[in-house]
Amino acid sequence: MKISYSAAVNSKIDIAIYPYFENKITKKHVDAKLFKGKSGEILLVPTKKILLLGLGKKDKLESADVRGLFAKAVKALMNGKYNKVGLYWDKPLNNFDTEVLEGLLLPNHHVAKYKTGKDLKKANDKLIKELVIIGSGLPKGFKKHADDINKIVESVHYVRDIVTGPPNTVSVDFVANEAKKAARSGGFSVKVYDKVWLKKNKMGAILGVNAGSGNKGAKLLIMEYKPKGAAAKKAPIMLVGKGLIFDTGGYNLKPTKYIEDMQQDMAGGATVLGVFRVLKQLGVKRRVVGVVPLTENLIDAYAMKPSDILTAYNGKTIEVRNTDAEGRLILADALAYGVKTFKPEFTIDLATLTGACVVALGDRYAGVMGNDKKLIEELIDAGKVTDELLWELPLHKDFSEAMKGIIGDLRNADNGTSYMAGSSKAGAFLQYFVDKSKWAHLDIAGTAYVQKPKVHESQYGTGYGVRLLAEFLRKI
């Protein structure tokens, strides 16, 4: 959305939002009885071209509420009647400038991208085209900050579209091309390695998952953001994302009700790409490397079977006990390759990795685990700022033990008891591929894709994690 500025309300603004704390209405818009400013109260007066938004009691207002309240106001205006929406900026909002802007910008998205004709036009017409900030009390540096938020939100929408998009469009090649396109304008480089390269580099785990895909290849994306300056000389930060285009489960086929939305299984990879798109705009000072393995998990005569043994990039052999535990396989090669090649200061991986995480934490928290307390705490803190909450799950040595194989080094699922502490065991498996290097794993299976969106989200892909990582990286 375009953001512009105006000192006062003008006739070109289709409607102006006036936010008020409870009983602190400073302008006389309507009869005092009609609007008190209670939290979540909305009074739309089209004839006066105003929307009054209640923020409740000032001392009760929390960061996450602000985002929700402004999102609610914008949603009330997304009906095709309003192109240019104004926001009357009152000084007390200055503490919450990020949340106000995110609240206004995040909902302005629709998922009806594959509709045609009138229906598509209708969905597009409902979007708000321009936000006008009205007022003179803006905090210092506001405009640059607003541009940054706008770019981040645009990337959240971009990730939503990739995650929601159908797998016959959002294919391995599609995502690879998106990365190339993004790199051209985003100030980072991308290398796309194909199956021949994967074979030469002995990435047997990615190739094992890809084996059932016929001539639909696997790819490994390596992105690199290299800013100028002293901080960029330090060891890089590595982001790794699961890019599983569609997860049928393989021979351990997913049943109906579990298979339908498995195009979401590349959300980790899409999020890494989404984060790379904002690094330059945010002026991130550190070098950042992104690694995204891309493949589908399909079935044909060559598909991997339970009881196959794969050899990963680091030479470890893996018993395939369950072909549906494929995410940890493709991440195994990606992590081992990334750690060895780039020697990062630390690694963060994101993956829609386990159904167990959805059961444990729902769509409110993503799971976080890892081998470095400080890194985990910093990620949890960043998540509190953006309201993309993280909850730490334990990595116990018994879980690592459970992932050891009997005839091979490791196994991708433990027989019979894989439903117990499923997310932790997946994490414990990944740990074998980062060795001692600092690492945190985000299981976003419950948060990346939702049926019931929060007010600032869209149904399906949420873009969860883009704002969190942007917040984390801009402070580093």
Smallest gap, in angstroms, from Cβ of residue 69 to ligand BES? 30
Give how far Cα 460 sits from Cα of 79, 94, 163, 254, 363, Å: 21, 32, 8, 19, 11
- 467 in active site: no
Query: In the complex, which residue's CB is closest to ligand BES?
Result: 355
Query: What is the distance between the alpha carbons of residues 267 and 275, in angstroms, rounded to a whole number?
Result: 12
End-to-end CA distance of the chain: 28
| Residues numbered 395-434 forming contacts with ligand BES, rule: CB under 6 A | 413, 418, 422
Neighbours of 229 (CB within 10 A): 9
User: How far apart are the C-alpha atoms of 294 and 198, rounded to whole Å?
Assistant: 11
Asked if 43 and 25 touch (Cβ cutoff 8 Å), the reply is no
Q: Does 461 bind Zn ion (CB under 5 A)?
A: no
Give catalytic status of residue 328 as yes or no: yes
CB of 243 to ligand BES, least distance (A): 12
Q: Per the structure block, which two tokens stand in for 149?
A: 């938020």
Q: Which is nearer to Zn ion, 56 or 327 (CB)?
A: 327
Q: Which amino acid is at 172?
A: V
Among 247, 333, 349, 457, binds ligand BES (CB under 6 A): 247
Q: Which residue has the tokens 């690879």?
A: 176
Binding site partner of 104, from Zn ion, ligand BES, none, Cβ cut-off 5-8 A by kind: none
Segment 312 to 351, residues that bind Zn ion, using CB under 5 A: 324, 326-327
Closer CB to ligand BES, 172 or 278, in the complex: 172
Contact assessment for residue 350 and residue 240, using Cβ atoms and an 8 Å cutoff: yes
Is 299 in a helix, a strand, or coil?
coil
Identify what 336 binds: ligand BES, Zn ion, none; CB under 5 to 8 Å per kind.
none
Binding mask 335-374 for ligand BES (x = CB under 6 A): -----------------xxxxx-x----------------
Task: State the catalytic residue, choosing from 195, 316, 328, 411.
Answer: 328
CA 25, 86, 44, 153 torsion-angle sign: negative
Measuring CA to CA, which residue among 301, 333, 243, 282 is closest to residue 475? 282
Residue entry with tokens 């290398």: 191
d(CA 209, CA 152): 33
Smallest gap from residue 299 Cβ to ligand BES (A): 14
Q: Out of 129, 202, 216, 254, which one is annotated catalytic?
A: 254
Query: Which CB sits closer to Zn ion, 69 or 209?
Result: 209
Q: Which of residues 205-264 bind Zn ion (CB under 5 A)?
A: 244, 247
Nearer to ligand BES, 355 or 408 (CB): 355
d(CA 382, CA 377): 9
Give the per-residue contact string, 63-102, with ligand BES (x = CB under 6 A; - = no): ----------------------------------------
Cα distances from 50 to residues 64, 236, 434, in angstroms, run: 24, 49, 55
Site size for ligand BES (CB under 6 A): 17
Query: What's the closest the beta carbon of residue 46 comes to Zn ion, in angstroms?
Result: 47
List residues with catalytic annotation.
Answer: 254, 328
Site residues (vs ligand BES, CB under 6 A) = 247, 265, 322, 324-327, 352-356, 358, 413, 418, 422, 445
